[in-house]
Structure 1
Amino acid sequence: MSYSTQLTSIKVEALNTHVLTLIQPVRVQTNLRCPRPVTQHSQPCIHAYLTYKASTRNSLSSTPLLRAPPVACTKTNYVQHYTNLGHLYAFNADLDDVFKLSVWILEDYDTDNWILKHNINSLEVFGGNRYRLDFDYQLIAVHPECNLIFFIYGWQNTLMSYEMDRKEVRFIRHLGHDSRHPYLPYVFLVTGGHHRREFAGECARFPAILRAQQRSDAPSKADQRIERLQLHLMENRAMKRNQAPPSLTDELIVEILSRLPVRSVCQFKCVCRSWRKLIADHENRKKLPQTLSGFLYKSWNHERCPESAHHFTNVTGKGQPLIYPSFSFLPSCDSVFVLDCCNGLFLCKCYVSRGTMQFHYAVCNPATKEWVVLPDANWGADENRIACLCFDPAITSHFHVLEYLQDEADDCVRAVEIYSSKTELWTLHESGWPDEAVVCVGSNGRSVFLNGCLHSLTLVDGIAVVDMEGKKWRQIPMPDPDYDVGIIHQSQGHLYAFSTDLNNIFKLSVWILEDYNTDNWILKHTVSSSMLFGGKRYWFDIDYQVIAVHPECNLIFFVYGKHNTLMAYEMDRKEVRVIRNLGHESHQPYLPCVPLFSKSLAGGC
């Protein structure tokens, strides 16, 4: 064993507690050479920074050593080290002046050359008090981004900071005499976004306002004034963060937001209170991209006149409705029945006079009060028809109305008649589905317009698909023959199917057709009715109905109970939220509404 190795072993044994303290925070793994030959004068003050525990004495000859700062070899009685701006820092006190703290930096990590960066006198830091390092005060951290040192001192364990560049001291707070080491520095970690580090700038704004303080139980008046000043500055910064940038006007912000996707606009509500208020403004919302805002439904009461009325509820159940359920802007008629809606447009059946079956179709936009009356189709006396609205503003400003022509004897669809707002004509197309498929439109299920085709649930456990030109005919089998399928919806560009297991009728299954070009359904989610309705065993499509899936997220909307309670269920978090009671007079259909403000109705008035 060499001379230097023997001396190191002796030092580890003699100062076992201090060596362990030095080893833990550094963890330097390097093969730097051992200190230069040691003289008798410097022997008691040698500090070797080991990366392994001091108890492994037998392997000290191969343990990597990092040479201590120069002054540490002759005049130091205590050493601490930290990292800052990618450099290793060392702190020690001079034995000739125990009240002076020296700050060293290892700028070139590949060498052992320490550079004296700064000297601090405890008289300057602690207002004339002669404090000793690690006796009267402790150095607990160096800011990772700037030359800011943090201390703990006094009986109340007062936390303070010292900025080396400006030589300024800042009192932070009393941690209390009950607090103990270690005081661990914490760096807040934000994933999936940008994190702005403002701590250094905030600390730099404070002047050197620390005065001489006596070590007492109660904070001094100077401390109280400093704390009030800190609180005032923090409140001012919080108020500034809650305001929109002054360089952007409200009109410019709304114009920028109007060009973004719906999901992004929703996320920008969290920027600040002023932006949230700006986005929620009734007039501004007309200019922004829209998503599901609420539901239109109808109520019946034989004791009032008129007996039927339309209602609208926001998706939150509160606030002013974005659209009003009055269809008084339509041309004069005796009564209006809303049949269907699709992406902001509504298909209405307008009866000419009371007591007659004569009517005409009207497609309208309640948000802009535009409407268009469709020409009469070629109705037969023995025909039963079901009309559906097809519209996608992302593809075209024109809409289609499709009628299923059913046979009066067995309700089988024998043809479809399609109206196009572009040609303003009805066209008749014979059914292209195979005869053995016996396609019948379900009475309770709504149709879904997706990928330019209309999808309708049938009574033979399948989905009938047809495009708007009557050229593409397709049948999509249902997910599982052992399941009873109740309804279909669309969300996030995919087709959804809701069904119950015949072996467990109180369990609702959610299926998704991820690949539209195949017939492969994927089971996305299952939930029991007892979980949804607080332990009650409800039957799907009897005790409760699925009325919609949110177009932008995994949120399902139900209506259940005597008072037709509207509720939402989030599949990701498995959370249920009651929105509001729609009343026992309300009836299906509950139509999901996505307001349309940006486009004019093709051919509308």
Structure 2
Amino acid sequence: MDHMEVSVLPDDLIVEILSRLPLKSFCRFKCVCKPWLAFSFDPNYRKKLPKIPTGLFCQYQDFDKKATKLLSQPRNVEKIDGALSFLPDHPQLELMDCCNGLVLCMRRSMDWSRRTITCHFIVCNTATREWTRLPDTRPYQEHAVFEAMLAFNPSCSPQFYVFNFKRNTFSFLSGLQVFSSDLSTWLVYDAWWSSGIHTVVGYPHLFIDGSLYLFSMRHNSVKRILVLNGFEAMSSRMPPNRQTIKLPHDPSVEPANGLPVGLYTRGRRC
């Protein structure tokens, strides 16, 4: 396509086409066309275009203290505090999840007299160094196991949600607490999981287009995708929508050997 042909296309249409490209192809095209390069710096368009990841957060444990670092090219981390040094100092603060620029951290505290565990969460923005401490969760018995996940889509809403899944000793989901930044409180949906038929098989999970996707398994070992969406209903303290997608059986892929993970939306893959 020559310059004359490109110029007759409206900018909105060009951006829509570029937004459907894989990141690698988009980066190549920015190098050969200055107008396309300019789109990536235009605040009206760059939200739609593929984004280059700033880096990768990792956490390691040094004796009894956990530490967080950001692995990235030096030019990408000038404004990012990868060590999260702006957060309150606590040796057992764990990096739990990140989603569209926000980072979720957690620590647990034990009440030895009652034999209960309470989760303490912090959500922060590493670019602005802003952070907020969430209200403490409801105490649970000491044997409870939790998996926490963050859902945030700034292109749709400034609100974020923290999902704190509770698993019993058999790894079945037995409870769910959801923090809604809109309500600034935890919503408890334990009765929602009374059937106890799903178990989240660890990470990874995906939050895309307003839906949270988790790999799950029924008691009969049938693998499924658990989908949660309709979070707006929680503003009225109603539970989110829940559905499951049964995966085709593949005897060559078992949970012990790894999980198939991927995403394809609007031409973007990761």
Give secondary structure in 1 for the equivalent of 2:30. helix
Tell me the distance in 2 between the aligned counterparts of 1:298 and 1:363. Answer: 16
Alignment equivalent of 1:310, drawn from 51, 68, 87: 68
The aligned runs of 1:4-23 (5 Å cut-off) are none
The aligned runs of 1:239-318 (5 Å cut-off) are 263=19, 266=27, 267-271=29-33, 289=47, 290-300=51-61, 308-314=66-72, 318=73
More displaced, 382-391 or 262-271? 262-271
Could you tell me which amino acid in structure 1 is paired with residue 187 of structure 2?
A: T
Over the residues paired in the alignment, what is the CA RMSD in angstroms? 3.8
Tell me the distance in 1 between the aligned counterparts of 2:32 and 2:62. Answer: 42
Deviations 1:223-245 (A, max 9, x none): xxxxxxxxxxxxxxxxxxxxxxx
The aligned runs of 1:594-605 (5 Å cut-off) are none
The answer to whether structure 1 residue 488 and structure 2 residue 257 are counterparts is: no
Tell me the distance in 2 between the aligned counterparts of 1:358 and 1:434. Answer: 22
Tell me the distance in 2 between the aligned counterparts of 1:277 and 1:456. Answer: 37
Aligned partner of 1:457 in structure 2 is 215
Shift of 1:351: 6.1
Alignment equivalent of 1:472, drawn from 225, 241, 250: 241
Deviations 1:72-128 (A, max 9, x none): xxxxxxxxxxxxxxxxxxxxxxxxxxxxxxxxxxxxxxxxxxxxxxxxxxxxxxxxx
Whose relative contact order is higher, 1 or 2, with alpha carbons under 8 Å and at least 6 apart? 2
Alignment equivalent of 1:340, drawn from 97, 119, 137: 97
The answer to whether structure 1 residue 439 and structure 2 residue 198 are counterparts is: yes
Give secondary structure in 2 for the equivalent of 1:320. helix
Give structure 1 stretches of 5+ with no counterpart: 1-192, 197-255, 494-551, 557-605
Tell me the distance in 1 between the aligned counterparts of 2:66 and 2:127. Answer: 22
Shift of 1:413: 0.8
Q: Conserved in 1, the CA contact under 8 Å of 2:164 and 2:178? A: yes
Give secondary structure in 2 for the equivalent of 1:454. strand
The answer to whether structure 1 residue 387 and structure 2 residue 156 are counterparts is: no
Tell me the distance in 2 between the aligned counterparts of 1:374 and 1:269. Answer: 44
Aligned partner of 2:2 in structure 1 is 194
Summarize the Cα distance change of 1:414–1:352 in structure 2 as closer, same or farther, 3 Å threshold. Answer: closer
Alignment equivalent of 1:366, drawn from 126, 142, 145: 126
Q: Conserved in 2, the CA contact under 8 Å of 1:334 and 1:351? A: no
The alignment's TM-score, normalised by the length of structure 2, stands at 0.68
Which is higher, the Rg of structure 1 or of structure 2?
1
Shift of 1:332: 4.0
The aligned runs of 1:317-356 (5 Å cut-off) are 318-322=73-77, 323-350=80-107
Tell me the distance in 2 between the aligned counterparts of 1:376 and 1:307. Answer: 22
Identity of aligned residues (%): 21
Q: Conserved in 1, the CA contact under 8 Å of 2:174 and 2:193? A: no
Shift of 1:312: 2.2
Tell me the distance in 1 between the aligned counterparts of 2:60 and 2:253. Answer: 29
Give secondary structure in 1 for the equivalent of 2:199. coil
Give secondary structure in 1 for the equivalent of 2:253. strand
Question: How many residue pairs end up in the alignment?
Answer: 228
Alignment equivalent of 1:378, drawn from 122, 138, 151: 138
Tell me the distance in 1 between the aligned counterparts of 2:38 and 2:191. Answer: 51
Q: Conserved in 1, the CA contact under 8 Å of 2:120 and 2:135? A: yes
Shift of 1:291: 4.2
Aligned partner of 1:502 in structure 2 is none
Q: Conserved in 2, the CA contact under 8 Å of 1:335 and 1:352? A: no
Tell me the distance in 1 between the aligned counterparts of 2:39 and 2:83. Answer: 27
Q: Conserved in 1, the CA contact under 8 Å of 2:93 and 2:107? A: yes
The aligned runs of 1:561-576 (5 Å cut-off) are none
Give secondary structure in 1 for the equivalent of 2:138. coil
